[in-house]
Structures are given as structure tokens and as C-alpha cells.
Structure 1
């Protein structure tokens, strides 16, 4: 399928809309492909689908999402004023970055996916690609809702009323937030459709598209968050079975192979923003004041993956104190524009290890063996654990070593471990004195525009 790229003008239009965001139904799809777009056949449906894929590589999802969630955790620090509230876990309801990126970005993805589902579903054709396009769009819609749920919803409690505002069709009026259970039900239903009717994963190709394997991988992750540990372990094991495979060289994965790596299951094809300052993941990490935290640098000291630490112009002369993020130090095709890794096979290993350790009747040796298989692949020796508590701690540390400073996964793991009673929030991060700040506030602009139909999260 050919991807249609847009100019910077479209992105600036989106950001202007996001800055004025009042409620999510008013988000216009990229490329102006939405209600006014005529879909008369499969090629025009493909064009509409390209607009949905664009959301995976725009400013909000591919760059700002990873930076701000990483700042909330333990692996990243920033010299930028806009990052201080995230580092200190004191984000306010009026924070512009929530409104512009963290809330608007996933809903932009959802909105464009809904137009694809609606208009492609209305086609009177027998082409099997019709079902496949809808399945891909439903995968993207599930991904968007999942991001909203784990950032803004009480995802750890299926009985909570603080789920997401579900958008399962275009042009829906503003509606109250659904329960966490209903939010999970929609996400899992969409992923099941993608598993059934999505495209096959193809080795040696660009990994920027929804596939059956990607749907299984994200579903395993969703089930882990939902605490369906048996289901998560089963699916993660299926994903581990292939055809994706762990990269042989950790540094080359990020600096050479990128979205062509067969370890990558879903990525953005390229970071899409292009302007005079060279905006991109490479620019933000190397030049714009985002650094690996001293804690994370110390954690990497004896790990073979420390090769991701590279110098940048703000780093001190002492090479032991370099803070640059080498995962994004080399842009795609020699540019400043880089990809976002939404899911790598390594994460399936870690999901399996945790789910197997947590599930009733789980075999701890199986979980440990999979954890060590990943470690050995990364050039490390195996670890041992005396009990479940120690094993879970090792798994969380391994996720930091493996996924740190990519997409903020250490933050989401921290929230889950806190809610499971594995760690005390203020012990692991002093700024987490208020347990109510484990999710972000809904933007006040959206709440006001909804006439307070949308409920704010407790504690804000």
C-alpha cells in the first residue's frame, strides 16, 4: 500500500486545532480526509486509510507522547520548562501539552480511523481488501483508545467509572466517560477483528502497518493492564513464536535497521514533522534538552545496552556521565527524522514473563527462563530469583533496561506495580506523594466545552 505524506502545513493546521481543542468530536482528520472525502472504491478507501496511519507518525503520537510519559517516570529528565511539571508529577488541568498532544493525539487517531471504518463499510464491493482495511482501522482505533485509557483512565480497576469517552463512530456528540470495563470491551473487540482479518506480518518489510501479529501483541499488552494474566501470557507466547525475531545487534536495531528490523512489530514509518529547526526525535533527544536521567544512566552501567548512551553537545566531558539517547541519535536515511517503536518483540518476552509470574498457577521458572533468554540475546548473563516478589522486581528492571527512554513504558509499569502493591510510590519516586496523580487530568478546555458532561479525574 502506498502511504500518502503531507506537508508541514497539515501538521501545523492540526496543532492549531489542538491548541483550541474544546471536545474531541471537533478534531479534523489529517489530509482533510473525513466527512467530505468521497470513497467510491478500494483505492479511495486506501487513501483514506493513509490519513489514519499518518497519526502514528505525527508530532503528538510519535514524539511528544514518548517524551512526556518518559518524564513522568524514572528514565528521562529535561531542561525545558514545559517538562518540569511532568518530571515532578504535578501536571495541572490547564497544561497545554495535555490538551495539544497527550489527549488530542490519540483522539485524532481514533477520529481518522472512524472515518475509514464508516466510509469503507458503506462500499458496495466484494473485494476482500475491504474487510482488511476495516480491520486495520479498527486496530488503530483500539490503539488510540488504549493510549487514552492508560493515560487518563483508572485502567487498573475494571469496576471504575473513570474510563474513556468512547468514540466508535464519526461525528458522535459529546458523551459521558464510559466505565473502564466498557473501554476494555471496545478495545479488545477491535483488536479481535484485526487479529481475524488483518494483514499478515511480513519479514523484511517496513513495519508501519497494522497486522495480525501487531494486533496480538497489543492485545497481550491490553490484557496485562486489565490483569487477565493468563490471557496475556498465552498471546505473548504466540507472538514470541514468530515470524518476528529478536535483533542480533541492539545498537544496529536503532541506528541502522529501524522500522525495517524484523524485531519491530509496529512502528511509525518515519517521523513526519519537517520544519526549519529539523524537528524530529533525533532533534528532540540530541539538541532540545531531553536526557537520560542520572538514575537511568547508573542503572545501565554494567549492562551491554549502555551503548545507547551517546554524546551530545550538552553532555559533560566525563564519558561516564553522557546523557544522550542513542536510540534516536541517527535519523532515518541520514535525516533528523526518526521512527517511533510502538511495539518491539522484546516487549512480548517481558509481557510473558510478568504475566506468567502473576497468573494463578504461573510457573516462575518459565517466566525466569524467558526473561533470561532476552538477557542473553542482549549480551548479558542470566539472573536468578528466590521468589515471585524478587522475580517481578527483576522483570520491571529489565523493562527499564530494554525499553527505557523510548515510549514511557517505565512510567506505565510504575503505575501498574504501585497499584498491584509491589512498590511504594514515594519510595521509588519522591514526587509521587499523591497517589491520585498516577493518571493525568482531562484537559479543562474539554470539560468546560462539554458543559461538564465529561467528568474530571479524582484529585484534580
Structure 2
């Protein structure tokens, strides 16, 4: 069996003699609760949950974060399929499609295996704070999976909606496969409960490919902005200030260096996805799907090039015209044209400090705070991308205008990472959303249909999402 690159967080270990063994997954990457019998096996099972988060493909041993990078870009109108457009780019979703469903539930199920196994063990089987640290990372991963499901398959914008997440809180067995979906309100409550635990009990430092308490704070900010109540914005600002005060992360002085030189070594990365050993040598790796094109090709479409007009990032995030599809360009954020894949080009980024600051700016505006304060934060982020022209930001004098400028920087900065360009777009007024992405004519298109197979195999699930056929 190949060894997973996700080694064990130092914060979880007080012994080193078995670190090589602990770098392995359970057989076939299983995470059944009965495999967790002590601290050592709990950490092995936690590795299995990170294996799901990184979406490592067992057949070729490469991380596959392609959907996380590209699908939200399809929906928001900035990334396209290089060999010809598709319905997703026009916000038409197929109910046989499984974009994030299986991926997210694989994370949730693996996390539940860890949580269920660890909670059964007495505290004296763990050293120091290891038990709480393991549980906090597992609960972070469960929250991440549930929130992704809520964001793409649930009516997250309506706290009174019954169309929430099918919450899974225990390892799936034959006896509990069938399960109803929860309401949106209950979905948020469960996700936030997991994140509160992770914030309170998480380790200060885990290495940025594991979930520290700061990663939990940042993910909680995402959830609070979607939840969208007045108290949520104040709480999000507080969380941002705590992350900044922790002094563990710094904006990359030149954003291009993060993607071209430093990768996961950058102090800006709060949570990343490390590629497997020698992944860069695999022909169908992630980098080659951006340039020059391999089994797939993901490109920047005209809207993204226009977004970067007169922006220094246009010179390195977009490349030459793609001959396979008129009006598209190589998306070169991860790999420069003419270069070869490396561990840096194969890295992925779930949470960066830039996102934290942009969310803080948004929360300030939405809380009724100072537009000037939000503008200062926004310009700080833009300056690290070597932007010098702030005319549009300086002219944004109303809350709605400033929120749109914050979204535009979110799209310029974070497109192709973990979907924040899409979710931040949908938090704008519906009229603005329709203007920016004319193919969206109804809020039905904010989310996808529940996959047909789930409805067929789970009689307790409930109704299909409105606007889609069961």
C-alpha cells in the first residue's frame, strides 16, 4: 500500500518511534470505529479522514481537488471547460451529477469514524491534550463536509427552509443508511457546534495541512457570513481579529510568489492540501489540466480576463488564448505556460489569510460599520497583489457598492481555490447577482439538485430541491 503524504501533526504526538508507521492509512483507507483502539490508531484513522479531504485517488495516488478549484468557477462565470462549454457554466445542473455530494459525505463519514472511536476511549489512553486535539480536527472536517453540502445542495440563505443537509453524526452502517434531511436552521446549528468545539479545543499549531483552531475560526467565519444574522457579523469580525492577533499568518508580500515559488511554505496559508510524493511526475496530474491540457482542460473565460483588466494579476493568472475554445485563455494561476509540474504547482489552498481579511471587510460593512475601515482592509489585500489603482474602491461610497468591490477582489484573489468567489457572489443582492451572471434568473440556481441516486436509495431523505425533478 502506498504511504499517504499526510504525516501526523506534531501537536498530536508525544512519541516519535512509530511516526513512520503512523504515516500510513488503515488498510484500504478504512476508518471504521473498531479500528480506533488507542491514541496511535486514532491518529491513523484521522489520517484517513484527511485522505478524504485531500481526495487522494487510490488508483494513482494523487490528490484530486479539481472540483473544489473549478466547479465554483464554472457557476460564477470565470472558469470554463477548455474543450467546449457545458451546462454548468450556464447554471443548469444535472440531477445525475455528483459534484460535491459523495466527496463531502466521504469526509463526514471518515470524521465520524474517528469521533465515534475516540469518544469511546478513556482519557487516560491519550497523552496531554491529544484526545481533544484529535476530536477537534475530526469535528472540523465533519463541519467542512456538512457546510459544503449545505452550500451546494441546501437553501442556506433561508433559515426557515426545510431544505437543509442530511446530517450524519455517526459512521454509516447498513442500519442507518436511510436518513432524512434536516432543516437549514438545524444544519447551521450542528455545523457551528462542531466548529465551536474545534475552536475551543484545537491546537494552536498543527502545520498548515491540518486543521488548527485558527482554521476552525476561519471556516466559522464562512459559515457565519452565510448564516447572515446581525450578530453573525460581529462574531465574524471578532474571529478575524483573533486570527490576526495569533500572529501565525502573514499576507504574502507578493501574491504571485505564493503560487510560483513558495506554495505551502507561505505564511499566508492557513489550510492547504499537500500533493502526494512524486505527484508532479504523474502525467494526468492537476497542473496539466490547466496547461497545456491533458485528459481535461480548465481555462479562464472572457469574464475572468475582463475582471483582471488593468490588474497586475492578469499577466500571470491568465495566459494565451486557448485554441480549443474561442474566447478562453489558459488559467495560469497554478502553473506558468512553458513550465513543468512541481510540488508547488500541485498544491491546493483551502483557506488563506487574504480570505479572512476579505471576510472581515464584508462583515464590517454588513454590520453597519465603517466603510472606510473596510476600504483600508480591501486595499491592504489588493496591495499584496501589486495593485496600485484603487479608483473603483475609493469611489465605493455606499454599503452595496463596497460589498460589490469586496466581492470583486474575492473573485480576483480566490477564484480557482475553494469556491469563495461563488459563495460571496450569492451573498450580494439578487438583482446584483443577476446582473453579474445573467444566466441566473432564479434563486433555484443557487444550489444543485440532490443526486438522483440518493433519492432512489434513501427513502427517508425527503423532497428533491425545489425546481428540480425527483
Query: What is the TM-score with the length of structure 2 in the denominator?
Result: 0.83
Query: What secondary structure, in the 3-state scheme, does the structure 1 residue paired with 2:270 have?
Result: strand
Which residue is 2:39 aligned to?
42
Which residue is 2:166 aligned to?
165
Count residues with an aligned counterpart: 423
Which whole-Å CA distance do the structure 1 matches of 2:186 and 2:121 have between them?
29
1:98-137 pair list within 5 angstroms = 98=98, 101-126=99-124, 127=127, 128-137=129-138
Report deviation, 1:138.
0.4
Which residue is 1:13 aligned to?
none
* Partners of 2:211 and 2:271 within 8 A in 1: yes
1:142-157 pair list within 5 angstroms = 142-157=143-158
| 1:61–1:334 CA distance, 2 compared to 1 (3 A) | closer
Report deviation, 1:323.
2.8
1:53 aligns with 2:50: yes
Deviations 1:403-437 (A, max 9, x none): 123233222222221xx446142x22232123311
Which whole-Å CA distance do the structure 2 matches of 1:30 and 1:174 have between them?
27
Which residue is 2:382 aligned to?
375
Across the aligned residues of Structure 1 and Structure 2, the Cα RMSD in angstroms comes to 2.9
1:451 aligns with 2:464: no
Which consecutive unaligned segments of at least 5 residues does structure 2 have?
7-25, 57-62
Which whole-Å CA distance do the structure 2 matches of 1:297 and 1:123 have between them?
54
1:393 aligns with 2:404: yes
| Structure with higher helix content | 1
1:431 aligns with 2:428: no
* Partners of 1:269 and 1:339 within 8 A in 2: yes
Q: Which of 91, 94, 102 in structure 1 is aligned with 2:93?
A: 91
| 1:453–1:375 CA distance, 2 compared to 1 (3 A) | closer
1:5 aligns with 2:4: yes
Which residue is 1:404 aligned to?
415
| 1:374–1:424 CA distance, 2 compared to 1 (3 A) | closer
Which residue is 2:18 aligned to?
none
* Partners of 2:287 and 2:335 within 8 A in 1: yes
Which whole-Å CA distance do the structure 2 matches of 1:421 and 1:311 have between them?
32
Which whole-Å CA distance do the structure 1 matches of 2:88 and 2:425 have between them?
14
Query: What secondary structure, in the 3-state scheme, does the structure 2 residue paired with 1:265 have?
Result: strand
Deviations 1:75-97 (A, max 9, x none): 1111346x6021111112112xx
Report deviation, 1:311.
4.0
Query: What secondary structure, in the 3-state scheme, does the structure 1 residue paired with 2:351 have?
Result: strand
Report deviation, 1:329.
4.5
Which residue is 1:270 aligned to?
275
* Partners of 1:278 and 1:336 within 8 A in 2: no
Which residue is 1:413 aligned to?
424
Which whole-Å CA distance do the structure 1 matches of 2:151 and 2:276 have between them?
23
* Partners of 1:245 and 1:263 within 8 A in 2: yes
1:53-452 pair list within 5 angstroms = 53-58=50-55, 62-80=65-83, 84-95=86-97, 98=98, 101-126=99-124, 127=127, 128-171=129-172, 172-201=176-205, 206-227=207-228, 228-241=232-245, 242-270=247-275, 278-286=283-291, 287=293, 288-309=296-317, 311=319, 314=322, 322-329=329-336, 334=342, 338-359=346-367, 361-381=368-388, 382=390, 383-384=393-394, 385-417=396-428, 420-421=429-430, 423-425=432-434, 427-451=435-459
Query: What secondary structure, in the 3-state scheme, does the structure 2 residue paired with 1:343 have?
Result: strand
Deviations 1:367-422 (A, max 9, x none): 111111112222223431221121111111111111123233222222221xx446
Report deviation, 1:284.
1.7
* Partners of 1:64 and 1:102 within 8 A in 2: yes
Report deviation, 1:184.
0.8
Query: What secondary structure, in the 3-state scheme, does the structure 2 residue paired with 1:255 have?
Result: helix
Report deviation, 1:61.
6.6
Report deviation, 1:143.
0.5
Query: What secondary structure, in the 3-state scheme, does the structure 1 residue paired with 2:181 have?
Result: coil
Which residue is 1:26 aligned to?
none
| 1:182–1:325 CA distance, 2 compared to 1 (3 A) | same
* Partners of 1:283 and 1:336 within 8 A in 2: no
* Partners of 2:263 and 2:344 within 8 A in 1: no
Which residue is 2:13 aligned to?
none
Deviations 1:2-31 (A, max 9, x none): x95189xxxxxxxxxxxxxxxxxxxxx983
| 1:411–1:146 CA distance, 2 compared to 1 (3 A) | same
* Partners of 1:280 and 1:337 within 8 A in 2: no
Query: What secondary structure, in the 3-state scheme, does the structure 2 residue paired with 1:334 have?
Result: coil
Deviations 1:222-248 (A, max 9, x none): 101111222122212322333211001
Which residue is 1:24 aligned to?
none
